[in-house]
Amino acid sequence: MSLIKSARLAALGAAAALILAGSAAAQTHDGDWTGVLKIPSGQQLRLVLHVATAKGETTAVLDSLDQNISIPAAAYKTDGAKASILFFAIGAELEGEFAADNKTFTGAFKQGLAMPLTLTRTDAAPAKP
């Protein structure tokens, strides 16, 4: 193989790597996600999920605005668009899937029983009371 062909293949490989890296970065779930959890008793809790990635590690914190508490996630696991977020402090798990447009998360909040929950990405998270 000639030096020119080798250089072209290397350049094409580098360009493909940059495109793929850009696609992966564009699919990040980082940000603030808001929604309302409807408890079977009729109570509704306003929730804000804060997701952040630093140095390749993703963390999450769940704010329950009506209870004035913040719960850090013990673990955050994703498989493509699917996510499982564990909150050991309260014995809960948030499990679901991010939409292809990355604007909503639909799943279930599990704490003794599974309750449906949809979160919507927001630019400015509601302030704690």
Query: Per-residue pLDDT averaged across 42-68, rounded?
Result: 95
pTM of the model: 0.76
Quick one: pLDDT at residue 124?
Answer: 72
Quick one: pLDDT at residue 127?
Answer: 65
Does 74 map to a domain?
yes
Does 109 map to a domain?
yes
The domain that holds 82 is classified in CATH as 2.40.128.120
Token readout for 31 is 């940000």
Does 128 map to a domain?
no
More confident residue, 64 or 127: 64
Say how far apart CA 19 and CA 24 lie, in whole Å: 9
Does 47 map to a domain?
yes
pLDDT of 66 > 70? The answer is yes
Q: What values do phi and psi take at 11, rounded to 5?
A: -65, -40
| 84-122 pLDDT per residue, tens | 999 999 999 999 999 999 999 999 999 999 999 999 999
Written as one letter, the residue type at 8 is R
**Domains of the chain: total:** 1
Q: Return mean pLDDT, the chain.
A: 83
Say how far apart CA 86 and CA 74 lie, in whole Å: 6
Q: Which domain holds residue 66?
A: 28-122
Say how far apart CA 69 and CA 46 lie, in whole Å: 11
Quick one: pLDDT at residue 50?
Answer: 96
Does 4 map to a domain?
no
Quick one: pLDDT at residue 27?
Answer: 57
Say how far apart CA 64 and CA 79 lie, in whole Å: 26
Q: Please say whether the beta carbons of 117 and 95 come within 8 A.
A: no
Does 98 map to a domain?
yes
